[in-house]
Amino acid sequence: AGKSLSFQWKCKNGTYDCLDSNGNKLSIPDSTNAVVSLGRLRPGRFYFEVEVSDGSLKSTRGISISVTGVFPTALIDGPPKLFRTSGGVFNLDGSQSSSNDASSLFYTWSCVSEKGTCKDLNGNDLMYPSQPIFRLEKLPAGNYTFHLNVKSSFGNQQNTSKDVIVIDSPPLMKIIGGPVLVRGSQESIVIDASKSASLDGSALTYSWNCTTSKGSCTDTSGNTLVLPSQSTLTFTSLGA
């Protein structure tokens, strides 16, 4: 009758121990079986060797395997392509980028515009983070292409990009006033625009103008009204 065979597997990566994708020494499941199953190997060249013995005689054979790294997936989430307020704030989010080989990821951002280098409203070059989230604020109106390079700890990398068009958007104006019909020229009138707001949170300035069917607005003495540069106007002596 034939003798039973025993098996013993081991692995070498050159002169070094074989490592898994987490950097730990590779453990070969069922290393005494004729067939072994391996997964999540760190990229590199591996030499697997098996010793087969029948109890009195033994033989050793090996096989060389090259493992290449898996390319990461680079993704950018962010505002719609048309962003309606220059000087506003928005985030570009690369945190959904991923690596299938459990390696760490490293992020490199860059930007180009129709003018070349991307600058903020003050004319300063943008500062690029090495993190997955890129917070942007005070961008002037223009066309921008943001690039993200995602690189794994094994050296594999992938690029992606996102186009953003930033345009100026006027503030939202809201005026509260009345009544529309004033029955006496001495009646007080308040016109309030303080509920107006800018979409990007910047300070607002106010410039009022007043006309009537006769031309410029006047007070009861016939003098042309002087309208202050403030959000709220109060009148107590408008001419009819």
Q: Do you know the residue count of the chain?
A: 240
Q: What does the DSSP assignment read for 123-161?
A: SPBPPPPSSSEEEEE-PPSEEEEEEEEEEETTS-EEEEE
C-alpha span between 105 and 109 (Å, rounded): 13
CB 65 within 8 A of CB 179: no
Per-residue pLDDT of the chain (240 residues; tens, 9 = 90+): 568 999 999 987 766 778 776 677 888 888 899 998 887 677 778 889 999 999 889 999 999 888 777 788 999 998 888 776 666 788 999 999 998 766 789 999 999 998 899 999 889 999 999 999 999 988 888 999 999 999 988 788 999 999 998 887 666 666 776 555 555 555 667 888 888 766 555 677 888 888 887 778 877 778 887 888 888 877 766 655
